[in-house]
Amino acid sequence: MTSFLSLTLIGSGVAGKSPHTYRSNEFVTDELTPKDSTSTPGWMAIGLGQSMIGTPMVVLWSNSDGSITLSQRQASGYAEPKVIQNPDRVAALVQASSSASSGNTKFTFTIPSDGKTTQSFIWAWGDENPGSSNIDATIQQHRDKGRASLNLAKDPSATTPSTGSGGNGNSNTDSSEHELPLLPYQKLIVAHAIFCVIGFLLLLPAGTLLARYLRTFTDTWFKGHWIIQFLLAGPAIVVGIAMGIQAVAKAGAQHLDDTHKKWGIAIFVLYLVQCSLGAFIHFVKPSKPGRPPQNYFHAVLGLFIIGSALYQVRTGYADEWPKTTGREEITGANTLWIIWVVLLPILYAAGLAFLPKQYKQEGEKRNRVTRGDFEDEDDIHMMPSNTYKDY
């Protein structure tokens, strides 16, 4: 992915030192420019770390009088970073190398080196200018962001520029994306995704298809249905939801502050309602013969939950993961999702071919009940009013 920003490592050094040696008491000079020279960003920022949360950042923007504001900030969650009053590493704007003119925006600053030969960093930019020169001015949410790493041991002048997210110079974004280890909250997100996919997209559809296909061939289909939907899928779903909540807390982010989080809780509540409805249909028998309305509602609600879960997983790997971690989308996830979102309806639609046989069997058993002619006790439990017509 090509970034809007270009990050160039100008060099480092103090008086009497080579500009390409890197020591803990030296300075690193960074230059931020739009890759499109005709563009004028509202603000640009770079953070020295792997994640938005807890990473010291240098945010820069131009003002109407031609000056440039440098603001050092840090975020405690996924919200606007706040000004650091006494940063450990104080950045300084290099006025002579910076420009705020339209079409030639270039922000250059120096910051003390921490002595590391490889520096992980995050970057972001927004198209809305803060409109104030104050260092604590409000900055709007970024339009784009990314992460990469800088190899400070290399000679900047000998490095071939790259076009990955985060810029050129010594940036090595393609490999660093995979080399950077997952942070604790990111590991929780991965666990959350795995358990929820198993519960919502594997086990729930499996239980649905089992009911759809086997109900006309065996009287014991319901046992397999509720074991899959409740005993197997239930723990996976509960653990997955708990992992998601813990990931948000671990990251210091806000709960229920975006569509993915709200939909996740809503679908979980619907799953609990669906389980309760299934138990009600099983244990509370209607007095009149025939198929009661709650059975139809149970079927429709089950399909809605699975469809919503497909949408939810899509927003998770395509939107939520990049937004909360700064990492790229998960390779191959979209291909697998497309295959599954096409295959599931086909499998369920094929199972509807058994409906005529199902209705015929129910009619025959209804007649036997009317005549009091039961072959065995199971016939009573296969009556239309007593069958478990969940799907």
Note the pLDDT of residue 52.
82
**pLDDT score recorded for residue 390:** 42
**pLDDT score of 26:** 65
Round to whole Å and give the CA distance between 368 and 191: 51
pLDDT greater than 80 at residue 9: no
Task: Give the pLDDT band of residue 13 (cuts 50, 70, 90).
Answer: very low
Tell me the one-letter amino acid at 57: M
Residue 17 forms beta bridges with which residues? none
Residue reference for tokens 């409805």: 277
How far is residue 270's CA from residue 209's CA, in Å, rounded to a whole number? 19
Give domain limits for the chain. 5-179, 184-381
Give the per-residue SS3 of the chain: CCCCEEEEEEEECCCCCCCCCCCCCCEEEEEEEECCCCCCCCEEEEECCCCCECCCEEEEEECCCCCEEEEEEEECCCCCCEECCCCCCCCEECHHHCECCCCCCEEEEEEECCCCCEEEEEEEEECCCCCCCCCCCCCCCCCEEEEEEEECCCCHHHCCCCCCCCCCCCECHHHHHHHCCCCHHHHHHHHHHHHHHHHHHHHHHHHHHHHHHHCCCCCCHHHHHHHHHHHHHHHHHHHHHHHHHHHHHHHCCCCCCCHHHHHHHHHHHHHHHHHHHHHHHHHCCCCCCCCCHHHHHHHHHHHHHHHHHHHHHHHHHHHHHHHHHCCCCCCCHHHHHHHHHHHHHHHHHHHHHHHHHHHHHHHHHHHHHHHCCCCCHHHHHCCCCCCCCCC
Q: Are 109 and 94 in contact (CB under 8 A)?
A: yes
pLDDT band at 4 (very low <50, low <70, confident <90, very high): low
Q: How many residues does the chain have?
A: 391
- The 10s digit of each residue's pLDDT in 88-127 is 999 999 888 888 887 778 888 888 887 777 778 888 888 8
Determine the pLDDT at residue 347: 96
Q: What is the predicted pLDDT for the residue at 106?
A: 86
Higher pLDDT, 178 or 216: 216
Is pLDDT at 222 greater than 60 in this prediction?
A: yes
Asked if 255 and 245 count as a contact pair (C-beta separation under 8 A), the reply is yes
**Res 313 pLDDT > 50:** yes
Pairing of strands 27-34, 107-112: antiparallel
User: Which CATH architecture best describes the domain 184-381?
Assistant: Up-down Bundle (1.20)
Residue 19 has pLDDT above 80, yes or no: no
Identify the band that residue 153 occupies on the pLDDT scale cut at 50, 70 and 90. Answer: low
Which CATH number describes the domain made up of 5-179?
2.60.40.1210
Which comes out higher in pLDDT, residue 373 or 159?
373
More confident residue, 1 or 10: 10
The better pLDDT of the pair 16, 141 is held by 141
Average pLDDT, the chain: 80
Residue 148 CA to residue 166 CA, distance in Å, equals: 6
The pTM assigned to this predicted structure is 0.65
> Is the fold of 5-179 the same as that of 184-381?
no
Percentage above 90 pLDDT, the chain: 42
- Distance, in Å, from the CA atom of 381 to the CA atom of 219, rounded to the nearest integer, reads 9
